[in-house]
Amino acid sequence: MPEDARHEETNPPITRSKLVRIGAGVLVLAAVGVAFAEFGIFGSLWPTGSAGSTSPNPIERVREVFSEPLQIDRIYKSMLGPYTTRNVVVSQDRKPELIWMTGYRMDVVGEDGETPESMDFECHTNLAFPRKAPPPGLHRPQARAFTLTGGQTDLRLPSGFGLPMWSNEKLVFNTQALNLNLPDADLTVMHRAEIRYVRDADLTQPMRPLVSVVAQAMVTLEDEPQLFDVEDPQADELLAGSSCHVGDYAGEWEGGIFTDDHNRRFTPHWVVPPGRHEYRTRVTKTMKIIYDTTIHFIGVHVHPHSESLELRDLTTGKSLFKSLMTNHDDRVGQKSADYFSSAEGIPVFKGHEYELVSVYNNQTGEDADAMAGMFIYYLNHRYRRPTAPPI
């Protein structure tokens, strides 16, 4: 989903204690305050199935965060369910220090914070940096740190890579509920997220810094195809095929329509008519590739009925990564989506043009709604080890 435009707010604390089993015979008592808990995870004791590789660092820590209760009592389509936003600080136990976020995981639980509930009640879970200039040395082209959605709810960056930050920086934790299948539902759920990180002081080898950017497919709300931020899409043969299709806005949420530099309207949340459709979008500007670098992780966000999402280098004509999706057979919803994770990485270049190609196959016989985005993590060549934490 696009950069969250909702305001930051501070919610009252949720306080409890729990006993967390880390591995066979290992128990850690974690006190939970202001809706989080911290505990250590050692080597391979982290549960399997996450999107990415395990960490080589001696101790990976986890901060547990809960949303406010979310009432599910009707059908809630994408971006229209109840949501909560809060500010969180990863670590409050020590003086400010450099840390590295290495992953993000979420699940849906009952109001007690423990009972598992269906992941079908999750629209998205976002974690973002403050919307202000980052502390010196920390290059951040965009505010978003992580986003988890249906089909991809556990993200781990490749071993030895991370997002650097100060432990006392306020992050924005935003979650939204979804219900596409149960019109008579009557329950309350919470979204539980786990922020994985390592302390720089605990490292046995240097981390490699990443930055995160979002490449988002869109349609135009004008009367004819348009190329985002390019006045004449036919003037450049290389870009002509990446013009956004004419479409209709599928949402009702504030901030779902964008205007480019030429005052033309676009939306990343559009209506998909019945049938199979391909949507192309130039994403060079939003990828913000200002130096030659390498991509090391790509997560994706799509809606039900998505078939694939592909990132292409228009300059070379090569496909960089294509994610294939699986939908549930017995209900509406996304089951899984391929991700990319690599220590070697995919080379990308300043001055090249890039596009997303999204394919939807809507076999329902009626209109559906769509989004299609890639969350791209590339090597940060502007990182300079910071020396002073933010005040």
Pairing of strands 258-259, 208-216: unpaired
Structure tokens at 17: 């204690």
- pLDDT for 30: 30
**How confident is the prediction for the chain on average, in pLDDT?**
84
pLDDT of residue 134: 86
> How many angstroms separate the CA atoms of 186 and 174, rounded?
22
Measured CA to CA, the distance from residue 16 to residue 194 in angstroms comes to 16
pLDDT number for residue 41: 31
Whole-angstrom Cα distance, residue 30 to residue 37? 6
Is the pLDDT at 19 greater than 70, yes or no?
no
Residues 29 and 138: their CA atoms lie apart, in Å, by: 34
Cα 332 to Cα 288: distance, rounded to the nearest angstrom = 34
CA 354/CA 348 separation, integer angstroms: 9
Read off the pLDDT band of 108 (50, 70, 90). Answer: very high
**Under a CB-based contact definition with an 8 Å cutoff, are residues 327 and 245 in contact?**
no
Helix, strand or coil, per DSSP, at residue 3: coil
List CB contacts of 170: < 8 A, sequence separation 6 or more: 8, 87, 88, 89, 130
Question: If you average pLDDT over residues 132-148, what whole number do you get?
Answer: 90
Instruction: Report the C-alpha gap between 305 and 323 in whole angstroms.
Output: 14
Encode 344-361: b = buried (16+ Cβ within 10 Å), e = exposed: ebbebeeeebbbbbbbbe
Question: Tokens representing 30?
Answer: 């974690």
pLDDT confidence of residue 7: 28
Q: What do you get for the CA distance between the two ends of the chain, in Å?
A: 31
Q: What is the pLDDT of residue 94?
A: 74
Mean pLDDT of 120-134: 92
| Alpha carbons 66 and 173: distance in angstroms, whole number | 9
pLDDT the model gives residue 390: 77
Whether residue 305 contacts residue 362, with contact meaning beta carbons closer than 8 Å, is answered with: yes
Asked if pLDDT for residue 327 goes beyond 90, the answer is yes
Which amino acid makes up residue 104?
Y
Report the pLDDT value the prediction gives residue 1, as an integer from 0 to 100.
46
Which domains does the chain possess? 16-204 (2.60.120), 212-379 (2.60.120)
* Paired tokens of 195: 């922020």
Give the integer Cα–Cα distance in Å for 33 and 385. Answer: 30
Quick one: pLDDT band at residue 231, thresholds 50, 70, 90? Answer: confident
Please report which helix (H) or strand (E) contains residue 299, including its range: strand 293-302
On the question of pLDDT at 222 being above 80, the answer is yes
Amino acid at 12: P
Beta pairing, strands 161-166 & 208-216: parallel
Indicate the DSSP class of residue 139.
-
Cβ atoms within 10 Å of 53's Cβ, excluding its own: 17
Residues 109/116, Cβ–Cβ less than 8 Å: yes
Q: What is the mean pLDDT of residues 318-346?
A: 95
> What pLDDT is recorded for position 263?
94
Judge contact between 128 and 143, C-beta under 8 A.
yes
What value does the mean pLDDT take over residues 323-344? 94
The amino acid at 225 = P
Average pLDDT over residues 226-244: 80
pLDDT at 9: 32
- Specify the range with the lowest mean pLDDT, choosing from 193-202, 231-240, 319-328: 231-240
